[in-house]
Structure 1
């Protein structure tokens, strides 16, 4: 996922302040994901579960990221696509429901870990992080496709 992010940053970085901010937030989210998952270079030598509060902080960051897409970035990208014709708008509009499906997964993950009263829920973290990673990878691909439409047709 980080390699794909680097590709996106190279391709679209510097084209718009909002896009730069969004990609930076994606990077920060991925770093936090790697930390709580204990993935390289953030492996935990003691193999302990991450602190519960760290997982909750990640959840807040996850919700911020998906919200930023829905309430700031997507609307602006779709509006820009509309300016360049019906086919661009149609493609952009077709991607949004697919992205929304990944939002549901992120919100379910958030709800599970922020509403839990017992740290025992952390024993399910590895399985849930794996599912979340698949969903987020799909989301990032769809978001990149949205950016590519705008970039390739209108730059």
Structure 2
């Protein structure tokens, strides 16, 4: 039994690092989003900052889907936690819908030409994106709390 605990701690301890890095990405994304929302009016000189936001947004969403959620699902399966797997199945479709909004935002503003053509609509797009991402962060926090934190107690 002690050996299994050691193995679990070694195996799932790395998930802490993945989540920590991902949450740092989230913090940077939120800061960039707030900075741009507070600008109000935009000119073509703002394009690099908007493109940087798009890059952060896509990176954050990708790490969630292809790294964090996958690790949380594996952890739930290994701990035979049916409740956690049910929660994951419930929340992932809601998170997926926010991914679509994030990708649409990226597609709309990811290049210099796209940005410059739609600068007037950017404040509204940023507001809508902020609302959607706040929902996403809430769902992600619930996943982390219910899936990972519950299992980390078992590995400690």
* TM-score bucket (shorter structure): 0.7 to 0.9
Q: 2:84 matched to which residue of 1?
A: 88
Shift of 1:87: 1.9
Q: 1:153 to 1:48 in 2, by over 3 A?
A: closer
Write the distance in 1 (CA, Å) between the matches of 2:107 and 2:74.
31
Aligned to 1:133: 130
| Structure 2 segments unaligned to the other structure (5+ residues) | 1-13
- The number of aligned residues is 135
The yes-or-no answer on 1:149 pairing with 2:146 is yes
SS in 1 for 2:113: coil
Which structure 1 residue ranges, 4+ long, deviate > 3 Å from structure 2? none
Q: Does the 8 A contact of 1:29 with 1:61 survive in 2?
A: yes
Inter-partner Cα distance in structure 2 for 1:65 and 1:23:
9
Kept after mapping to 1: 8 A contact 2:101/2:129: yes
Q: State the Cα deviation string for residues 112-139 of structure 1 (Å, max 9, x = none).
A: 0125625140110110011100100000
Summarize the alignment of residues 89-108 of structure 1 with structure 2, pairs less than 5 Å apart.
89-108=85-104
1:66 and 2:80 are equivalent in the alignment: no
- Establish whether residue 114 from structure 1 lines up as the match of residue 107 from structure 2: no
More helix by share: 2
What SS does the aligned partner of 1:142 have? helix
- CA deviations on 1:49-97 (whole Å, 9 max, x unpaired) are 1611210111011000000000010000111112232222111122111
Q: Which runs of 5+ in 1 are unaligned?
A: 1-13, 39-43
Higher relative contact order (CA closer than 8 Å, sequence separation 6+): 2
Q: Deviations over 1:14-34 (max 9, x none)?
A: 981111101100001011111
